[in-house]
Amino acid sequence: MATNSITAAQGRYKAHPCPKCQVIHKGKGPYCSKVCSNLDRDDEYKEKMRQTKLHTDKGQLATWNLVWGEDYEPIIAGGPVGLADNQFVADGDVWTSD
């Protein structure tokens, strides 16, 4: 078996050049990286993707998760802000006085 042949069991792909930078890689797609892939995008495609992110529920959720992460909970308007009257911070810890 040749060293650069595709074998499904091992999950390897045949070595091929990137169409933009001519680097030899064994990745699944034609490009070696996202940077090279984005160089082939025209302004029409970029605008279409931007509109999809802005105006669809799925796009807005994906954008939110990229910016804040899935575990982030937004601050509730009108909720408590800062420390209570009997609390103070010392050495990075919050303390409560009686």
Domain range list for the chain: 16-68
pLDDT of 16 above 50: yes
Digit-coded pLDDT (tens) for 51-70: 888 888 887 777 766 656 55
Q: In the 8-state DSSP scheme, what is residue 15?
A: -
Distance of alpha carbon 4 from alpha carbon 17, whole angstroms? 13
C-alpha–C-alpha distance, residues 69 and 62, integer Å: 9
Residue 4 scores a pLDDT above 50: no
Q: How far is CA 62 from CA 4, 14, 52, 56, in A?
A: 36, 32, 11, 10
Instruction: Report the pLDDT value the prediction gives residue 22, as an integer from 0 to 100.
Output: 92
Question: C-alpha distances in angstroms, 79 versus 43, 74, 75, 76, 82?
Answer: 43, 11, 8, 6, 10
pLDDT band at 8 (very low <50, low <70, confident <90, very high): very low
